[in-house]
Amino acid sequence: AEWGYSPTNGPDVWARLFPQAGGARQSPVDICTSIASSDSNLEMKKLTFAYESQSDLRILNTGHGWKVEAPQSGSRLEGGPLGEDIYQLEQFHCHWGETSAEGSEHTVDGRAYAGELHLVHWNTTKYQSFAEAAQHPDGLAVLGVFFDVGNESNDEIEKIVSTLSEIKFKGQFTDIPDVIDPTTFLPSGLGYWTYLGSLTTPPCNECVIWIVYKEPITVTEEQLVQFRCLSACSGEAEEFIVKNYRPPQPLGNRALRECNA
């Protein structure tokens, strides 16, 4: 039975098929800003990233949303909560909801944003492959960026939106002709929260160091409407991917740290 986001195959039943989904360091979480500890040594080790601009990146319809494969040997994410290891960009994707009143996976003091972009990186210092890294507690680092709905469309997101008509059905893929620079997805304010968590989709491996930026970026309602036109099926039947976010999971006794870069 394929997992999804409907009542019969959604987050509430994932743990039946994917035991890790019931673990103690699951993601997303509600970011309770009053308990976030300002961790001084995060300030010292500044989070640094360097991405190459790339054209002809492949975008695919996974059936659960769109995903851009960006294996970037030249990209590096390091510092902040990542210790001495270097993480490399593997892919980026997005989560959204049926309306713009919901859609993000992380929430901030109970507030959901209209969507959330995930830039997925893996620890190339310690591991030989993405798949191997996903089996270790410090294997992946995911940057989360919230979407706010506004009047100005996001040019970088527009490069994604313009390809969605070619990947309407699950399994379809195409190359993005435009040059994509992942740096442009990041907000201008670089303050973030960080905690130890998991993949937010099955198999929900507990292998992610989460870094969630405080400041959202702006997209338009029209851009989100285009996301919701993707089909979860490979053809004939049309079941639109109108929501693909997991609700917050218990933080438990995990530390939630913040850095006001």
Ligand X SMILES: NS(=O)(=O)c1nc2c(F)c(F)c(F)c(F)c2s1
Q: Is 200 in the site for ligand X (CB under 6 A)?
A: yes
How do beta strands 140-149 and 208-213 pair? Answer: parallel
Is residue 123 involved in binding ligand X (CB under 6 A)? no
For ligand X, which is the closer residue by CB, 89 or 199? Answer: 199
Coil, strand or helix at 41: helix
Least Å from the CB of residue 142 to ligand X? 5
Residue 52 exposed, middle or buried by CB count within 10 Å (0-12, 13-18, 19+): middle
83 contacts 141 by C-beta, under 8 angstroms? no
Rounded to a whole number of angstroms, the minimum distance from the CB of residue 75 to ligand X is: 15
Which position among 64, 67, 106, 118 is part of the footprint of Zn ion (CB under 5 A)?
Answer: 118
User: Quick one: how far is CA 184 from the chain centroid?
Assistant: 15
Residue 241 interacting with ligand X (CB under 6 A): no
Q: Which of ligand X, Zn ion, none lies near 199, with the C-beta cut-off 5 to 8 A by kind?
A: ligand X
Binding at 120: pick from ligand X, Zn ion, none (beta carbon under 5-8 Å per type): ligand X
Q: Which is nearer to ligand X, 118 or 214 (CB)?
A: 118
Residue (of 52, 46, 59) closest to 76 by Cα position:
52
Nearer to ligand X, 120 or 160 (CB): 120
Taking the CA atoms of residue 161, residue 198, residue 35 and residue 103 in that order, the dihedral angle to the nearest 10 degrees is 30
118 is catalytic: no
Q: Indicate whether 201 belongs to the interface with ligand X (CB under 6 A).
A: yes
Determine contact, residues 205/192, Cβ cutoff 8 Å.
no
The binding site for ligand X (CB under 6 A) comprises 91, 118, 120, 142, 199-201
